Amino acid sequence: MRKALFYISIVLLSVGLMSAKGSRKKPKPAFAVIETPYGNMKVKLYGQTPLHKQNFVTLVKEHFYDSLLFHRVIEDFMIQGGDPDSKNAPNGKMLGAGSHGERIPAEFVDGLYHKRGALAAARDNNPEKKSSGCQFYIVQGKVYSNKDLDHIEEQHNASVKQKMLNDWLKSDESKADQEALTKLQRARNFAAFNHYCDSLVEHLVATNSDAKLFKFSPEQRKTYTTVGGAPFLDGDYTVFGEVVEGLNIIDSIAAVETDRNDRPLNDVMMKMRIVKK
């Protein structure tokens, strides 16, 4: 009887855990409208990036973005705004260095990438890739070939592989490799030197379970080769939303005439509000 009760309790516990797991709510998105002289864009703020979503929602509700400019516009790339210094900025003033609040920790999420219409956080050059507390950009982008994407993957991974090689050659276990490379270098046999390094890197990648090389998913490749975007930014900047209505407005703003600093000659002002879905 005790054994039967034990099994029953295990079954009930399992059912309870399954119910709790099934009842977990998916993070809800939020929505905002960005008003511009060229029309309105409705953006979806992803629930999977809660820190960025909440920061953006708070700033919009505080009317922080109202009367700020899209101060940096590059056709076939993106339109950027949110610099507090752009409010009432005189013509010709260089913008883009303004900030507000603290940096936001990066929130890189699989499946969120720089497709056309992506809303992402700008940032300065910091090792943790933390985002600006206010500046953002919206991707216009362009269509890329699979060969282009292969090249971008290689560029992303080059620095990762170089760091792995450097770290290995600094270790005590690499004495034999150090001696072999030194011998090739002294002999000025650079072809063999490079081949040795390439082979060593391949071995390090294959034997290091923590090695994380950059690779586009099949979904990303399909999107970038059809719809387009800015794939070279993936993994470096947090994508926290996307334009769901008014994609054509991005094209209109991206086509305006700009000065040598990519600032539109005629101000492109914004105003924002939070809306229901």
Domain range annotation of the chain: 30-143+227-275, 157-207
Report CA torsion sign: 111, 114, 117, 122. positive
DSSP code of 274? Answer: E
DSSP code of 129? Answer: -
Query: What mean pLDDT is predicted for residues 166-180?
Result: 93
pLDDT tens-place string over residues 10-40? 344 444 444 444 446 788 999 999 999 999 9
Query: What mean pLDDT is predicted for residues 183-198?
Result: 93
Query: What mean pLDDT is predicted for residues 245-260?
Result: 98
User: Which pTM does this prediction carry?
Assistant: 0.85
Regarding predicted confidence, which is higher, 97 or 207?
A: 97
Strands 78-81 and 70-74: antiparallel
Distance in angstroms (rounded) separating the CA atoms of residues 148 and 231 = 10
Q: Residue 58: pLDDT above 60?
A: yes
Q: What is the reported pLDDT for 4?
A: 46
Q: What is the reported pLDDT for 80?
A: 98
pLDDT tens-place string over residues 152-164? 999 999 988 998 8
Burial class (CB in 10 A: 0-12, 13-18, 19+), 159: exposed
Q: What confidence category does residue 277 fall into, taking pLDDT thresholds of 50, 70 and 90?
A: confident
Non-local CB neighbours of 221 within 8 Å, separated by 6+ positions: 146, 149
Query: What mean pLDDT is predicted for residues 61-68?
Result: 98
120 backbone dihedrals φ, ψ, rounded to 5°: -135, 165
Q: What is the reported pLDDT for 24?
A: 64
| Tokens linked to 28 | 């809800």
Query: What mean pLDDT is predicted for residues 72-93?
Result: 97
Q: What confidence category does residue 229 fall into, taking pLDDT thresholds of 50, 70 and 90?
A: very high
CATH number at 30-143+227-275: 2.40.100.10
Non-local CB neighbours of 75 within 8 Å, separated by 6+ positions: 140, 254, 255
Distance in angstroms (rounded) separating the CA atoms of residues 121 and 136 = 4
Report CA torsion sign: 218, 224, 229, 230. positive
Q: Residue 73: pLDDT above 90?
A: yes
56's enclosing H/E stretch is helix 50-61
Distance in angstroms (rounded) separating the CA atoms of residues 24 and 27 = 9
Q: What is the reported pLDDT for 11?
A: 40
Averaged pLDDT score across all residues of the chain: 91
